[in-house]
Every structure is written in C-alpha cells, then in structure tokens.
Structure 1
Amino acid sequence: MSRSALINIDTQQSFFHREYWQEEDVPAFQQAILQLISGCQDLNIPVVDIFHVDDSGPFSLESGYVKPMPFLQHHADVTFQKHVHNAFTDTGLDLWLRTRDINHLIICGIRTEQCCETTTRVASDLGYRVSFVSEAMLTFPMSWKGVTLDTQTLRHRTETVLAGRFAEIQTVAECLESLS
C-alpha cells in the first residue's frame, strides 16, 4: 500500500526579493497549490514544508524572509531547511519519511526546473514513487546564450525529462483523484 506525503518546496517570501520575481503566473499557482494542500490535508496526507536557506541575502535566516508566502495558511506537519537544490541532502527528510513508511511523494512549490525537479530526481533515485504536480509550481523565464525560455517552455521541458523516468506528471485534480 502506498503512503503519501506532500512536499512543498521553497514557497517562501525570499523570492519576492529576487530581481526575476514577476506576478504573471502567481494567481494560477496560488489557486493550484492551495487546492493541492487542502485536498491532501482533507485526506490526512502529511504536508512537509521545505525552505531554502543561504548564508546571506534574502534566503538567509537573518533576512526574515525564510517563511511561507502570505497566502499559505496551512500548518505543516514538519518543516526542513535545505542549503542545496534538493530537499534530501543533509535535511533529515529521508529519515522522517522512512520512519513513517511513506513511499510516495507529491511535489509542488518553487522553482519547477530547479529545486522541484532536483528533489524529484533524488527522490526517485532513493526509491520513492513521485507525483510531479507542475500545475502547483512556479518558475520564471531563464536566459542563456541569448535564448530566453518562458515559463511554459521550462515547464514542458521539465515534464518531458521527468515523465516515465523519475515521476508521474499530474494535474492537481488528477493527483487528488488518484489519492482518493
């Protein structure tokens, strides 16, 4: 039998203070992540908040921004701080999950192609079944070598490289229906 946990990655106020922050995709993201959290809580699925912490800047504890974004009102079952892109390295998350016999992770949060994707890959390598709910994730355009990828392209690219290899790609509705 599958036992699930929702892993909410880096949905923290630190991002408001990054030069790339933009509001364009935020309303849809807020609606989706709130629906996913509420649905998981209704099903008694633990919600795990992960916060990224750096030594300085808006992701440092001293900044006061390493806390949930204001629209989040849930009470996490547990919170971990990470210092790298994935939520497992040196956090205690794996032990917490295994102690509770959790073998299925539902991933949501910020940034789709960075911390959410990296956590998904590590989780899969550790033997977890992963639901990647990119609808409940947020990212921002990225440029390299004169080419800018918009958020939809980044999302599609991330889903493409994860699907069938590291995770099942699901919408919020599909994920919640599969848990019922």
Structure 2
Amino acid sequence: MTDSVLLIIDAQQSFYHRGYLEAPETPAFELVLSQLADGCRAKGIPIVDILHVESEGAFAAGSGLVVRLPFLQHQAAATFRKTVHNALTDSGLQQWLEQRQVKHVIISGLRTEQCCETTARVASDFGYRVTFVTEATLTFPLTHNGMTLSIADLRHRTESVLIDRFAAIRRVDDCLQELT
C-alpha cells in the first residue's frame, strides 16, 4: 500500500468556456499530465479526480461540463466535487485521505495559481508532504491594473511562493523517479 496519491484538480470540460482550447500550452499540458497519470498508475499510486462546481454557468453540475477532460483515460480511485478553491475542505477528500493513511499528495491540474496552488498550501498546513508538478498544471494569462501576467509568469510566481515552504517542485520525470 502506498502513502501517496495523485490529485488531478479541475481538469474538466468546463474550461472549454474559459480559453482551454485556445491556450498554446494546452497540448504540452495534456501530454505531461497523461505521462504523470500513466506513471502513477504503473507505480500503483491512486489517482483522484477533483471537479469544481459552481451554481451556474459552465461549472454548474447541470451544464454537462463538470466531467474530466476527454484526453484523461485513467481509472480514478475516487472523484470529489468542490465548491471552493482548495480540494480538501469541502469535498470529502480530506476524510478519504485520512482513511487511507495518505501522507503525500501530488498536485496537478487547472489552474496553476488558483486551485492547484491553494490545494498545495492547505495540504501542507494539514501536514501532508506535497509535490507540485508545475508542468502538469495549466493556467491562462491574468490582467490586473493594466498589467498582464503570462502563463510563464504565473508558473514562476507559484513555484516561488510554494518552494521550501509548502511544496517540493518537481518535473514529471523527477516526481515519478522519487515514487517508491
């Protein structure tokens, strides 16, 4: 039995309405997330899908879009729905992890600086060892006060605030190599 689990956060079709298909990084994201999921499956690491639900729009349960992205072909050990930015506090995931004596969570999915980063911070605060696989996360440029942060800027910022505080930052190959 392993004490690790791969969390795939918000990799759902709802993002078709938020620029997912237009992002130039999408093909690379799909490739590395598939590699991470395949590698975890081969090592017996459970994969958990986390889906974000809102009361209306593309993230509403009734929209038909709160389902994982079609390139993901893994068998999920569990699927949880959340209504907040982190995957642990309102979804039932925290209890599921405790029941299985999970000590290590691997973070991947959508959006790098929002739900993925927030989950990493909360997981660290709850005492989990956290591995953040930045290349297996995707986000979109953000503009605030006339300044646009690129995807690269957002990834760099997220890594900078997480590393040595909340998470180990790893590439897919390094993450998989470290798993026993």
- The interval holding the TM-score normalised by the smaller chain is over 0.9
Letter in 1 for 2:167: A
Letter in 2 for 1:112: T
In structure 2, the residue matched to 1:162 is: 162
1:24-80 per-residue CA deviation (whole Å, 9 max, x = no partner) reads 000110010000000000011100000000010000011100001111111100000
Letter in 1 for 2:175: C
Q: 1:177 to 1:19 in 2, by over 3 A?
A: closer
In structure 1, the residue matched to 2:81 is: 81
Gaps of 5+ in 1: none
SS in 2 for 1:118: helix
Letter in 2 for 1:98: E
Cα separation, 1, equivalents of 2:75 and 2:56: 27
Cα separation, 1, equivalents of 2:49 and 2:60: 17
In structure 2, the residue matched to 1:133 is: 133
Instruction: Say whether the 8 Å CA contact 1:14–1:58 is kept in structure 2.
Output: yes
Instruction: Say whether the 8 Å CA contact 1:21–1:140 is kept in structure 2.
Output: no
SS in 1 for 2:109: strand
Instruction: Say whether the 8 Å CA contact 1:109–1:137 is kept in structure 2.
Output: yes
RMSD between superposed Cα atoms in Å: 1.4
- When the two structures are superposed, what TM-score results if normalisation uses the length of structure 2? 0.97
How far did 1:90 drift?
1.5
Letter in 1 for 2:145: K
Give the paired residue count: 180
Cα separation, 1, equivalents of 2:53 and 2:10: 9
Instruction: List aligned pairs for 1:35-50, cutoff 5 A.
Output: 35-50=35-50
In structure 2, the residue matched to 1:62 is: 62
Cα separation, 2, equivalents of 1:144 and 1:50: 28
Name the stretch that deviates more: 88-97 or 11-20. 11-20
Cα separation, 2, equivalents of 1:74 and 1:19: 24
Cα separation, 2, equivalents of 1:176 and 1:68: 22
Gaps of 5+ in 2: none
In structure 2, the residue matched to 1:115 is: 115
